[in-house]
Amino acid sequence: MPEPNLDNLKTEAFRLIDSAADSAALEEIHVKFLGRKGELTLVLRSLGELPPEQRKLLGPQANSLKNLLEERFQARRFELEKKETDQRLTGQSVDVTLPVGTRRAARPHPLTQINNEILSIFQELGFEVADGPEIETDHYNFTALNIPKDHPARDMQDTFYIGKGNLLLRTHTSPVQIRVMEKRKPPLRIIAPGRVYRHEATDATHSAIFHQVEGLAVAENLSFADLKGTLALFARRMFGPQSEARFRPSYFPFVEPGAEMLVSCIFCKKAGCRVCKMTGWLELLGAGMVHPNVFNKVGINPEKFTGFAFGMGVERIAMLKFGINDIRLFYDNDLRFLEQF
């Protein structure tokens, strides 16, 4: 066996270790020299086959070279791993000085937020969401609701008629009451949100297009106390536990008796302010016990069943809740306004 040249082996190993590009390459070099079949390993293993004098000389040299190489490998390994970790961290780092928020988070329109809040309060009370068309017939919008042709109550809601007058843009969500009662038999509890239209001049509190939520409950033995309890609970949930609700008589042809619900002014707590016109109370909705004539039109026996109904303006509730003083702000699509909610 030729005498191994340890000097050459050392020079070559140092050269490769120093030039290893990364820790994976370094491990290959380690295997090449110190692995199971590595060049230096083979030298060490072959020592036993050498004549004794040669072995005496080469043995310590080879062993110290092995230690030397292991040290060199360890040092280089440490160097390379540090470099690689640094590179990885730099790639992952967050530059906290970069501008943020270039993407704006979308959220529902304030009217949608209030609409959803109203629905979920009533859904918790067992009301199901119902739906009806925005283009209605005279029958559903008026006649079936006990407002016959030429009845003066039609003047309460100036109407957009379509064509010769049998079709119109619904002036309230009450026609959904009729559509539901035609299809379903009591007991029933529904809540019907939607857009409504009135031929009205726009001002700070009125719009020609606005939104209502209609409610209807029909069962045996429902009384005005159920109506009051349900709506008072709604007001507390919507405006907070301190809010009070008050009812005063009102007239809607499709209910008897009819009422309006007022809530204590959330701005002045009943002390009187500009918003409540110094009365301490704000009008929120129309309501009442379903009129027997309405039940008769949909084939429900008014001797057996009673019911209560209510209709509220979504804009008005949103204005109260958010402290908004002009209804037109909802429709301007001005992000400076909308982003506040």
Residue numbers of the site for ligand FA5 (CB under 6 A)?
157, 172, 174, 198, 200, 206-207, 210, 212, 252, 255, 283, 285-288, 309-313, 315-316
In terms of CB distance, is 4 or 175 closer to ligand FA5? 175
User: Closest approach of Cβ 316 to ligand FA5, in Å?
Assistant: 4
**Chain residue at closest Cβ approach to ligand FA5:** 313
Smallest distance from ligand FA5 to CB 102, Å: 37
Q: Which is nearer to ligand FA5, 207 or 230 (CB)?
A: 207
Q: Which of residues 40 and 312 has its CB atom nearest to ligand FA5 in the complex?
A: 312
Non-local (6+) Cβ contacts of 329 within 8 A are: 337
Shortest distance in whole angstroms from residue 162 CB to ligand FA5:
19
Q: How far is the CB of 286 from ligand FA5 (least distance, A)?
A: 3
- Residue closer to ligand FA5 by CB (options 38, 174) is 174
Between 30 and 172, CB nearer to ligand FA5? 172
Report the nearest approach of ligand FA5 to the CB of residue 150 (Å).
Answer: 19
Cβ of residue 211: shortest distance to ligand FA5, in angstroms?
8
Taking the complex as a whole, the smallest distance from the CB of residue 312 to ligand FA5 amounts, in Å, to: 6
CB nearer ligand FA5, residue 136 or residue 315: 315
Long-range contacts from 209-212, C-beta under 8 angstroms, 24+ separation: 209/331, 210/313, 210/314, 210/315, 210/327, 211/111, 211/115, 211/313, 211/314, 211/315, 212/172, 212/173, 212/311, 212/312, 212/313, 212/314
Comparison of 79 and 283: residue with beta carbon closer to ligand FA5: 283
